[in-house]
Structure 1
Amino acid sequence: MTENNEKKEAIFRLENILIKNMSLEMPENVVTPTFNATPTIKLELRNISRQLSRDNYYEVVLETTTKVLSGENVQLLVEISQGGIFYIENVEAKQRERLLNVHAPEMLYPYISQLLSDLMMRAGAPRIFLPPFNFRALHQKKLKAMEEQLSQEKGEKGTVS
């Protein structure tokens, strides 16, 4: 009787790309935004992941909020949620977390950047491409913050007054 000690091959693939939400608002001027010579642009980026009801399927969503300001006035507000469905099999929990928080967002990032650029151009606004973003560094920062919080909680539980 022989045992099969072969490790199954890890699988990680993008199954589908979808737009979950997209909105554009021009609060000041519906027809033509009145940008000054150098508008200020504020970008926010979030990453959300969750397991779907089917085994080994996960949804990862990148959300961006972009504000174009002329002085204090919001000239343009764009919110986009770009989603992806990923299939992950034969991967340990720690590696799966890294795939969902680093590699999946890296795959979706060019899509959300292009969508933002196209939408802003169609609104008559300055065309914006999202700058390069290091999801790996962000993930490491989150892990470090979680470790520090856990060590603080352990320290507080261990002290006796």
Structure 2
Amino acid sequence: MTEETNGATAPGADEGQQALKMQILAQFVRDMSFENMVAQKGLTSADVQPEMQVQVSLDAKKRQADNQYEVICKFKVTSNNKATNTALYLLELEYGGIFHIEGVPADQLHPFLLIECPRQLFPFVRRIVSDVTRDGGFPPFNLEMVDFVQLYRAELARRAEVQAASGEVAN
């Protein structure tokens, strides 16, 4: 019988299976842009009914060092005035992390990188988005928690659809 602690195999339980090890080595803003259309166009904030849209995309790649990976979370936050459909602001943020990961089976590494790693970075992204929108003269925008599992599944479904469509064209 194998004892498990936090999902990792206990030391000495099974020498063939390595315990999961994850460490965040660095975090950074790779790119950020905030466009305040209200200030640029000299609009007044009277009768503003903001409507928010958030788009999220993820990217991960292996680094040259053993067991190191870079994960980038890309957020695009758009705020429009619901009443007039005019843009209020646009925030684009690419936030990255460098992770040292050991003990994840090869077939589970891709979902781990695109689910668990962004989950670890998300609180920092949320704080940056809140601070930037507040410093831009708007109420702080607090991102709702992102379901990275659902996002991953949607991307797999999209890729399968594209592959199926390209397969049909090839036939």
Corresponding residue pairs, total: 155
SS of the residue 1:67 aligns to: strand
SS of the residue 2:39 aligns to: coil
- Among 19, 37, 43, the alignment partner of 1:27 is 37
- Among 38, 44, 47, the alignment partner of 2:55 is 44
Q: Is the 8 A contact 1:88 1:96 kept in 2?
A: no
Map of 2:8 onto structure 1: none
Per-residue deviation, 1:64: 0.9
Instruction: Give the 5 Å matches for 1:10-159.
Output: 10-30=20-40, 34-35=44-45, 36-70=47-81, 71-147=84-160
Take 2:117 and 2:107, find their aligned partners in 1: how far apart are those partners? 14
Superposition TM-score, scaled by structure 2 size: 0.77
Take 2:44 and 2:118, find their aligned partners in 1: how far apart are those partners? 34
Give unpaired runs (5+ residues) of structure 2: 1-13
Superposition TM-score, scaled by structure 1 size: 0.81
Which stretch shows the higher mean deviation, 27-36 or 49-58? 27-36
Per-residue deviation, 1:151: 6.3
Q: Aligned in 2, Cα 1:114/1:5: closer, same or farther, shift over 3 Å?
A: closer
SS of the residue 2:70 aligns to: strand
Letter in 1 for 2:76: T
Q: Aligned in 2, Cα 1:29/1:153: closer, same or farther, shift over 3 Å?
A: closer
Per-residue deviation, 1:52: 1.2
Per-residue deviation, 1:47: 0.9
Ranked by relative contact order (alpha carbons within 8 Å, sequence separation 6 or more), the top structure is 1
